Chains A and B, each alone.
Chain A
Amino acid sequence: MLLIPCPWCGPRSEHEFGFGGEPAVRPQSSASDTEWADYLYMRTNPKGRNTELWCHSAGCGQWFVMERDTVTHAIHTTREMGA
């Protein structure tokens, strides 16, 4: 079980969080089909350190950015959106 340091609430159990995927930059609606597909469907899915969006959904409700290792599940950092 992960103990996730919410930037707002401190360390809380994994139960309280939702995983929100890799951050992606949303293209303009003029994007080509390929650019749109890349944003919508393609993932980096790294083995090792990963940047992810999470939400403290059963807590403060805030989205935040987490650096997490996908092999060891160690959490390196969490930070507020935009920070």
Chain B
Amino acid sequence: MRYSGWQLLKQGLRGNAGWQPAWRTPVLQRSYDAIVVGGGGHGLAAAYYLARVHGLKRVAVLERGWIGGGNTGRNTTIVRSNYFFAESAAMYDFALRLYEGLSRELNYNIMLSQRGVLNLAHTEHDMELMTRSVNAMLLNGIDVELLDAKQVRDEVPLLNFSPSARFPIHGGFVQRRGGVARHDAVAWAYARGASDLGVDIIQNCDVTGWLREGSRIVGVETSLGRISAGVCAMSVAGHSGVMAEMAGFRLPITSYALQAMVSEPLKPILDTVVMSTATGMYVSQSDKGELVFGAGLDLYPSYAQRGNLPTGQAIVAAMLELFPAFRRLKMLRQWAGIVDVCWDYSPVIGPAPVEGLYLNCGWGTGGFKATPVGGWLLAHLMATGQHHALSAPFDLGRFTSGMLVDEAAGAGIAH
């Protein structure tokens, strides 16, 4: 069923009784050509592209809970491609370009709002590093602008421009094509698109082990029984370590809780996404009016999808330091997702050390913006057995060669 304003009129006149399920509830088959473990945005996107780009007919997505219930539904919805290294820029910009066409391709409004992503500089040294980054991005074909303090003030007058501010604002840079999108809608749109192409989306299906034939993985053990597959992939974010352990290998990944919060809804007050490296803070205002914000990770590894109080306070304090007017507002909700933080803050995409299994993990705090490209590259690997040119630098093998894609280090942040 095609969605449109006309369809809303038509169905409205018929009491809205004619709407079809957004995705089918299929009968689970015992064998598939391809199985993607993890029904988040990345997994659903992979299944969609397997069917649409590579023409696979028998594809299943296995989700332990409900689709889009992990980090897809818990992030702060920022999309951007303002990365330093050519390898990252190429990949994230491909994601952003897919995002730009996604609502129309999937006939589902993901509410991509390209309102700009503004990064703040608080010292002259920050400005120098930003100049380095901006030039790198421009050379990599990413459209960004360096702003001086006055230009930042014109864009976001609410920032703390007081001379006594703890983090004075020296300038910043902006990617106009960056912005936010409706996170849940991305998962639902891919689910609907994939389901329409015949992909089976199986919810409440817990993968408890890998089926092997010799050294090769040939399927999964699940709470709903054994399912065999021509090729398997894992796209499970924070639970990557658990899945890897079942397959007998380790990853350069640690799982942490990353908190996010929203304020009560307000009339429009902030029109762009604002980020600050010095405080780690990022904030935007949702279309509903809530300020959506976050900052650093909790201190210690965690699989609990909840944040702790000290980090929560630090996140709030970081935002208020930059937006003193927001001190009067109230926090409505605080939550956390389990993010798979990779050693070099770049993802791992490629074959697993075990045959028959592909990896899409390590996106850490930045997975949402990469949803389309994570799915695209994983689908390419599963369908062809070969790296896409964009995923090759992100192979697990980089940790043996030492050829990391260390964005934080590249941007001058020692960690």
Residues of A bordering B, CB below 8 Å: 1-2, 14-15, 17-19, 21, 33-34, 37-38, 40-48, 50, 52, 68, 70-73
Question: Does B252 lie within 8 Å of A42, measured CB to CB?
Answer: yes
Q: Which of A1, A33, A37, A47 contacts B239 (CB 8 A)?
A: A47
A66: nearest chain-B partner, CB-CB: B300
In the complex formed, the residue of B with least CB distance to A54 is: B300
Interface of chain B residues 112 through 167 with chain A (CB within 8 A): none
CA distance A48 to B399 in the complex (A): 26
15 contacts between A and B (CB under 8 A): A1-B308, A34-B400, A40-B399, A42-B251, A43-B251, A44-B241, A44-B245, A45-B251, A45-B253, A45-B254, A46-B245, A47-B242, A47-B303, A50-B301, A70-B255
Residue from the list A21, A37, A43 in contact with B241, Cβ < 8 A? A43
A2 proximity list for chain B (CB < 8 A):
300, 308
Instruction: From known contacts A37-B400, A41-B399, A71-B304, infer whether A46 and B310 are also in contact, taking CB-CB under 8 Å.
Output: no
Distance A15 CA – B310 CA, assembled complex (angstroms): 8
Q: How large, as a class, is the contact surface on chain B?
A: 20 to 34
Task: Tell yes or no: B250 within 8 A of A by CB.
Answer: yes
Q: Is the CB of B400 within 8 A of A46?
A: no
Residues on the A chain within 8 Å of B250, using CB: 38, 42-45
Residue in B closest to A71 when the chains form the complex, CB atoms: B303
Q: Which residues of B contact A41 (CB under 8 A)?
A: 252, 343, 399
| Chain A residues, Cβ within 8 Å of B241 | 43-47
Given the complex, which residues of B lie within 8 Å of A71, measured CB to CB?
A: 302-304
Encoded as 1 (CB less than 8 Å from any A CB) or 0, chain B from 194 to 230 comes to: 0000000000000000000000000000000000000
Q: Given known contacts A33-B400, A41-B399, is B304 in contact with A14 (CB within 8 Å)?
A: no
- Chain B residues with CB under 8 A of A15: 310
Q: Report the separation of the CA atoms of residues A1 and B300 in the bound assembly, to the nearest whole angstrom.
A: 11
Q: Does B299 contact A (CB under 8 A)?
A: yes
- Complex Cα gap A71–B254 (Å): 14
Residue on B with the closest CB to A72?
B304
Q: Return A10 CB to nearest CB of chain B, in Å.
A: 19
Give the distance to chain A from B254, nearest Cβ to Cβ, in Å. 5
The answer to the question of B401 belonging to the interface, with a C-beta cut-off of 8 Å to chain A, is yes
Render B376-401 as a binary contact track against A, CB cut-off 8 A, 1 for contact.
00000000000000000000000111
Asked if B399 and A42 sit within 8 Å, CB to CB, the answer is yes
What 20 new A-B contacts, CB under 8 Å, besides A1-B309, A21-B254, A45-B301? A2-B308, A14-B299, A17-B299, A19-B299, A33-B401, A41-B399, A42-B252, A42-B399, A43-B250, A44-B241, A45-B250, A45-B255, A46-B245, A47-B239, A47-B303, A68-B300, A70-B304, A71-B303, A72-B304, A73-B302
Q: Using Cβ atoms and an 8 Å threshold, which residues of chain B touch A52?
A: 300-301
Chain B residues within an 8 Å CB radius of A21: 254
Decide if B301 touches A70 in the complex (CB within 8 Å).
yes
Chain B residues with CB under 8 Å of A70's CB are 255, 301-304
List residues of chain A with CB within 8 A of the CB of B304.
70-73
Q: Identify the 7 closest CB pairs spanning chains A and B, nearest first.
A: A45-B241, A41-B252, A42-B250, A37-B400, A41-B399, A19-B300, A37-B399
Q: Which of A34, A68, A70 is the most central at the interface, judged by chain B CB atoms within 10 Å of its CB? A: A70
- Please give the distance in Å from B259's CB to the nearest CB on chain A: 13
Give the distance to chain A from B394, nearest Cβ to Cβ, in Å: 14
Expressed in whole angstroms, the Cα–Cα distance for A60 and B149 within the complex equals 43
A43: which B residues are within 8 A, CB to CB? 241, 250-254
A72 surroundings in chain B (CB, below 8 A): 304
